[in-house]
Structure 1
Amino acid sequence: MKNKKLTMNDIAKMAGVGKSTVSRYFNGGYVKESTRLKLKKIIEEYNYEPSALAQSLKAKYTKTIGIVVPCLDSITTSRVLMVMDEYLKDYGYTTLIVNTNHNELRELTSIEQLWRMNVDGIILMATNVTMAHQNIAAKIDIPLLFVAQRFKLGVSIINDDYNAGYDVGKYGASHGHKYICYIGVNRKDEAVGVYRKDGVMDGLKEYGAIKIDFLESDFSLEKAYHIAKEYLQHKQPSLIIGATDNIALGCLKAINELGFKMPEDISLIGFGGYETSLFINPSLTTIRFNNEETGIRAGKTIIDLIEENHVDDLQLIDYQLIEGESVRII
């Protein structure tokens, strides 16, 4: 007689699938036909019957997806979130959106809480990736998709920050600018603080920039304004590149207050492609990432992960360089 003390974990290991897949099978959720037949054969062979108590405690296929975001007032985050939410609703999913207000502990706690609420998958719009994120990703038994930051041990969707930065550096230097100031953010934000910055620096250097100053800000317009104003009281580069449009707009306020003209005295470039950046005068030269594509791709990928379809571990979102009137040709 076959061993009747088999557990769901045992069945998952024998079938080469996750425990959540076995749970979905017993609760009538979606399981690929080939996997369903494999599980059925193992269960019949071992005469396995889950207890009523165990079944009541196991996750059901809820058609619910948790989305954890760092803030709700970011133009980029809200664009991605709205498209993502609409896409998932079109496919019959309900979303639970949690705002962490850039609090890492709250972010990690929210992931675990959503997991315990039996969501089918979680999308994390991450501000950074730490060892704690790796630990919780290994702990939970449902798909966890990282958006905006690269997660090397799982699946992530990120902007092509390095190449976008490189094109901006190339654009500025090829317009004859030799003395440039780049105002970026802390390296803790790997996407903007590392990849984007490295791209800008490489593009500038390879296309003839001689002197490059680097200043560290945060993502706020106000902080960028104060840093740029202090800097411009002592130095005058021909071009300032802001790691975001908000940073660039903070710099523009400092440029105007100190009596400089843009682009005659100081040229300016940003990243973001916000509508406000295009309607200032002169309009801002900037990079626009395809945020709508990010939202669609995230929705499709989390569903594919839930349904155990193949997905690429790293997916890059393309961009467009929008030429405004903020860069002078020297």
Structure 2
Amino acid sequence: MNPTIKDVAKLANTSKSTVSRYLNGQPVKKETEEALKKAIEELNYHRNENARRLVVSKTQTIGIVVDSITNLFYPTIFRGIEEIAKEKGFNCVFYSMTSSKYTESYFQNLYYEGHVDGIIMISFRKRNHKDLLEIAEAGFPVVVFGDSANVEDIVSVDVDNYLGISELVRYLSRIGHKKIAYISGPDHAAATESRLAGYLETMEQLGQAVNPNWIVPTDWSNESGYKAMNHLLSVGDFTAVVASNDETAIGALRAVQEQGYHVPTDLSITGFDDITLSSWVYPSLTTVKQPFMEMGIMAATELFKRMEKGDDYPSERHLLKPKLIIRDSCRKISE
């Protein structure tokens, strides 16, 4: 027969209630903890999760809904979420909207049907205000990762996109650049608007003029960055380019080199995200690093607070700061 809590308690010379507290993540004396660990290992004890769920009316599971399973940033976010979930004794179940006809609000059914105890919704796309408002008003434990669609009564986590671009523009200004072009992102991305605002407003604050022809939209691919840079080179009269993600920056770097120019001797280029390839291209790319692991930890931490405190826990938008990574794609120029 499978060992029981009673067997663990007997071998560890403690009570069943103490074993239960320990298994539920509550503190016990250090010597008791050591004895319990030894007893559980010796007996090869595994608790009956189904029975436990019937008693506590909890699934011990959180749902993670993503807009696409192919996004290269998501695995790092998942690790952050799972780190906190594991500490709390919870499992994570992932749901993808890639091939689904449903909106995010549909997935609140996961909670109401008893599949999960809380939900984290991850998307870097612009969200529909009405859809997100429905989720906020439903009142179940949820954290949205990315765009909050200006819905105030919901907990959300994102990177400070405005600050990241502003930091890049200010860095280029400090090393002498006054004429700075900008490679923007796609309309469907939530970060595009705030990153563009970071560029425009920071240039204005620094007293630096912006030529409208210096701003080129892309779909954030290498190819679109390559095309955008070729267009910018036909316009000319700038010394640096801020690309709003690393992939377009890498495409821009290739376009510059193919036309016989050198980075950073002739032109400085920066990116945004700090993907792995940004440190391997030549020259290595100056960029800003998104703290995806920390963002995942923050999202999970906030979800568990909401699960524990319910509606008494205040809704808040948490913007984590990106980190400026200075490499070799920019150079100081004289006045």
Question: The TM-score by the shorter chain falls in which range?
Answer: 0.7 to 0.9
Q: 3-state DSSP class of the match of 1:281?
A: coil
2:317 counterpart residue number: 314
1:140–1:241: structure 2 CA closer, same or farther, 3 Å change rule? same
Q: Deviations over 1:90-143 (max 9, x none)?
A: 322121212223x79544265245335422111111222213423430464421
- Rounded to whole Å, the distance in 2 between the matches of 1:249 and 1:226 is 11
Indicate which of 121, 124, 128 corresponds to 2:121. Answer: 124
State the 1:74 CA deviation.
3.0
2:69 counterpart residue number: 72
Matched to 1:122, the amino acid is I
1:228–1:111: structure 2 CA closer, same or farther, 3 Å change rule? farther
Q: 3-state DSSP class of the match of 1:316?
A: strand
1:111 counterpart residue number: 107
Question: Is the 8 Å Cα contact of residues 273 and 290 (structure 2) preserved in structure 1?
Answer: yes
Indicate which of 319, 322, 329 corresponds to 1:326. Answer: 329
Residues 26-105 of structure 1: pairs in structure 2 closer than 5 A? 60-101=57-98, 105=101
- Rounded to whole Å, the distance in 1 between the matches of 2:259 and 2:152 is 45
1:257 counterpart residue number: 258
Structure 1: 5+ residue stretches without partners: 1-58
Residues 146-225 of structure 1: pairs in structure 2 closer than 5 A? 146-150=144-148, 151-190=151-190, 192-212=191-211, 213-225=214-226
Q: Deviations over 1:216-240 (max 9, x none)?
A: 1122222222232233244353111
Q: Which moved more, 1:314-323 or 1:115-124?
A: 115-124
- Rounded to whole Å, the distance in 1 between the matches of 2:328 and 2:176 is 15
- Rounded to whole Å, the distance in 1 between the matches of 2:106 and 2:232 is 40
1:104–1:319: structure 2 CA closer, same or farther, 3 Å change rule? farther
Question: Is the 8 Å Cα contact of residues 174 and 208 (structure 1) preserved in structure 2?
Answer: no
Q: Which moved more, 1:122-131 or 1:306-315?
A: 306-315
Question: Is the 8 Å Cα contact of residues 103 and 131 (structure 2) preserved in structure 1?
Answer: no
Q: 3-state DSSP class of the match of 1:209?
A: coil
1:226 counterpart residue number: 227
- Rounded to whole Å, the distance in 2 between the matches of 1:255 and 1:100 is 38
1:117–1:250: structure 2 CA closer, same or farther, 3 Å change rule? farther
- Rounded to whole Å, the distance in 1 between the matches of 2:189 and 2:224 is 17
- Rounded to whole Å, the distance in 1 between the matches of 2:229 and 2:109 is 41
- Rounded to whole Å, the distance in 1 between the matches of 2:221 and 2:127 is 21
Residues 1:134 and 2:137 aligned together: no
- Rounded to whole Å, the distance in 1 between the matches of 2:126 and 2:76 is 20
Residues 225-304 of structure 1: pairs in structure 2 closer than 5 A? 225-235=226-236, 237-304=238-305
- Rounded to whole Å, the distance in 1 between the matches of 2:70 and 2:257 is 26
- Rounded to whole Å, the distance in 2 between the matches of 1:138 and 1:329 is 48
What is the aligned length?
Answer: 271
1:312–1:281: structure 2 CA closer, same or farther, 3 Å change rule? same
1:325–1:69: structure 2 CA closer, same or farther, 3 Å change rule? same
- Rounded to whole Å, the distance in 2 between the matches of 1:177 and 1:209 is 9
Report sequence identity in percent.
24
Question: Is the 8 Å Cα contact of residues 134 and 153 (structure 1) preserved in structure 2?
Answer: no
Matched to 2:295, the amino acid is T
Alignment RMSD (CA, Å): 2.5
Q: 3-state DSSP class of the match of 2:270?
A: strand
Q: 3-state DSSP class of the match of 1:302?
A: helix
State the 1:66 CA deviation.
1.1
State the 1:315 CA deviation.
1.4
Question: Is the 8 Å Cα contact of residues 174 and 207 (structure 1) preserved in structure 2?
Answer: no
State the 1:248 CA deviation.
1.0
Question: Is the 8 Å Cα contact of residues 236 and 266 (structure 1) preserved in structure 2?
Answer: no
Q: Deviations over 1:49-106 (max 9, x none)?
A: xxxxxxxxxx9421221111222333322211222123213322121212223x7954
- Rounded to whole Å, the distance in 2 between the matches of 1:315 and 1:138 is 16
Matched to 1:67, the amino acid is I
Q: Which moved more, 1:241-250 or 1:132-141?
A: 132-141
Q: 3-state DSSP class of the match of 2:289?
A: strand
1:152–1:328: structure 2 CA closer, same or farther, 3 Å change rule? same
Q: 3-state DSSP class of the match of 2:65?
A: strand
TM-score, normalising length: structure 2? 0.73
Q: Deviations over 1:140-164 (max 9, x none)?
A: 4421211122342311111122222
